[in-house]
Homo-oligomer: A and B are copies of this chain.
């Protein structure tokens, strides 16, 4: 698991400046994928072509591709070439979200309800949540995810309209903001926070719990190259939910 998040433009450029060729190729390919310029299923240029493009040998490109494949960003097929993999970064960290899938895996009927959307200038609290340095327009979305008709999870989300202006005119009454954002603004870095809190009156009412019931709160902030994208807080009734993460130290073959 990585720990370093590079957000500062200056630093990013520093890294690019005196990077090795290997790093440079890696960065450029990765950003094509992660930005969505090369969507899932897209075939990357062949190794020999990339080698020609960068003026290096195939071995150098090959090593980069091997690394990308190991990281799960691309899939390689002999004779055919290398392809961007389907499941975007999402879901790799802590294997949750999208919630629809989570509910489906429990073999329950999924439904979704929009509670409210509010557009406003970011206040102090919004800026803290989104990691915004300056004020700017944000969109707040509150919605519920339901399983078999019962409350499953409360979602409270802030979207940075400076990075995702289209969200202003999006219709979240039928599609949840998570999937919507994933299509339009894939993220390159994320930070998760998990805590246990007692449900406040309003949350308890929405989730049909007694006040003070223990809830699992998962918060996620995401960034792309243009800045903070969104901050989301999922509140789950604690007793019914778990976050699971398997782990092997290494180096050894993933997937």
Contact = CB atoms under 8 A, between A and B. Distances in A.
Interface in A190-241: 190-198, 212-217, 236, 238-239, 241
A141 B100 CA distance: 40
Contacts of A23: 253
Assembly stoichiometry (copies): 2
Given A197-B239, A243-B195, A249 B92 contact: yes
A255 interface: yes
A243 B2 contact: no
B192 A252 contact: no
Interface in A1-24: 1-6, 15, 23
A242 interface: yes
Interface string A43-77: 00000000000000000000000011011010000
| Chain A interface residue number, banded | 35 or more
Contact of A251 (B68, B216, B245): B68
Contacts of A30: 249-252
A157 B76 CA distance: 43
B195 A248 contact: no
Nearest to A3: B246
Contacts of A242: 193-195
Nearest to A2: B248
Contacts of A252: 2, 26-27, 30
A240 B212 CA distance: 15
Contacts of A215: 196, 214
Given A1-B1, A3-B95, A214-B214, A26 B194 contact: no
